Amino acid sequence: MQALPGTIPVRTERQAMDWSLVLVSQGIEPTIIKDTEAEVWRLVVEAPDYQRAVQTLRKYVAENRSRVWRQELPWTGLVFDWRCMAPIAAFIFLFAIEATGRGNLSAAGMMSNKAVHAGEWWRIFTAVTLHGDLAHLTANVTTGLVLLGLAMGVYGMGIGLMASFLAGAGGNLAGLLLHSDRHQGLGASGMIMGALGLLAAQWLTLLRNGLTPRQLAIRGLLSGGLLLVLLGFSPDRNVDVLAHVAGFGTGLALGVVLAMCPTRLRQSIFLDRAAFVLCFVLASVTWWLALRWFGRV
């Protein structure tokens, strides 16, 4: 008995043409049908291909949704994700609250080895989102916009952001282990250096697979220039070099781990979104704990 075909509704003739090309590229032969009475378009595929066709089109729609934010930079082969503006906006928002005097966020969330040893572990994470003054914020926002955008372009919105945030926390953890109890610190520099470490891991993978001289030169100039800005032109003379180096190292290690993961996992839209949600929850919960605990004092 011949299998019955499956029908996929579409909104317009243009969408029907686009989706049919997507299906053909996956070896699925659709038929475009117009229902003149209902003034609607449909794609018809053979029943055995129906589930695969639906999954292919769902993935295509999800990927095109993200392409609005993702742009390839000319002559570089690099992809920039404008959703990096979300953490940048969070840094600015928290600094604005602190500047208005409505909340003593620095006291509640800055990295303090003594406080962490006393049980306030959340400071390892909350300190990543704070800045001491406008010059400090400006330096991290400008370099962070570039590096976070590139890292999120390479690894995905959620995975790139989550890995960078964990790298920033890794920088603070190194300070906890190697500095004295009197050590205090704050700032997103460790997170930004973590994004650079993620990029370095990906570039090493590309180098192994064969980069062109132009691509290698562009990446070398980019990484060297941004390191110079972060370390050489920092507005704070008391730069926590350990946090920077540890953040970079943590990002590099996470990038190597991600590079070793199967391609289907690295490109999973579900995992990328889950990582973004997890990063948001981690930042929110740690700040809730910081403000709740500080309110008791």
pLDDT tens per residue, range 78-100: 788 999 999 999 999 999 998 88
Residue 68 reports pLDDT greater than 50: yes
Half-sphere exposure of 81 (CA within 13 A, CB side): 24
Q: Using a pLDDT cut of 90, give the percent of the chain over it.
A: 35
Q: How far apart are CA 77 and CA 215, in angstroms?
A: 7
Residue 207 has pLDDT above 60, yes or no: no
Q: Where do the structural domains in the chain lie, given as residue ranges?
A: 6-67, 70-296
More confident: 267 or 193: 193
The pLDDT-based confidence of 250 (bands split at 50, 70, 90) is very high
pLDDT at 15: 78
CATH fold label, 6-67:
Alpha-Beta Plaits (3.30.70)
CATH code for the domain defined by 70-296? 1.20.1540.10
Average pLDDT over residues 271-290: 95
- Residue 32 has a pLDDT of 83
Rounded-to-integer distance, Cα 274 and Cα 216, Å: 33
Angstrom distance (rounded) from CA 124 to CA 179: 14
Taking CA atoms, 67 is separated from 98, 173, 276, in Å, by 35, 35, 17
More confident residue, 228 or 67: 67
* Residue 4: predicted pLDDT: 47
CA-CA distance, 173 to 164, in Å (whole number)?
14
Asked if domains 6-67 and 70-296 share a fold, the reply is no
**Structure token digits, residue 76:** 């570089």
- Give residue 3's pLDDT: 44
Write down the pLDDT at residue 136: 86
pTM over 0.85: no
CB 250 within 8 A of CB 166: yes
